[in-house]
Structure 1
Amino acid sequence: MTTLPPPKVKKAPEDSLESKVYSMVETFKEYIPTPSDRNRLSYCLFKYLNGEGDAPKILLKTSKINYEGISKEELAKKLDEELTKIK
Structure 2
Amino acid sequence: MTTLPPPAVKKFPKDSIESRVYSIAEKFKEFIPIPNDRNRLGFNLYRFVKGEGDPPEILVSSTKIKIVGISKEELAQKIREELENKEENI
Common fold by TM > 0.5: yes
Question: What's the counterpart of residue 25 of structure 1?
Answer: 25
Matched residue of 1:8: which SS? coil
Q: 1:1-87 maps to which residues of 2 (within 5 A)?
A: 3-87=3-87
In terms of mean alpha carbon deviation, does 21-30 or 77-86 score higher?
21-30
Query: Offset at 1:21?
Result: 1.1
User: What percent identity do the matched residue pairs reach?
Assistant: 60
Count of paired positions: 87
In terms of mean alpha carbon deviation, does 38-47 or 21-30 score higher?
21-30
Stretches of structure 1 that go unaligned for 5 or more consecutive residues are none
1:5-55 residue CA offsets vs partner (Å, 9 max, x unmatched):
433322110011111111121111110000000010001001100001101
> RMSD of the TM alignment (CA)?
1.2
The ranges of structure 1 where at least 4 consecutive aligned residues each deviate by more than 6 angstroms after the TM superposition are: none
**Cα pair 1:17 1:86 within 8 Å, conserved:** no
User: TM-score, length-normalised on structure 2?
Assistant: 0.87
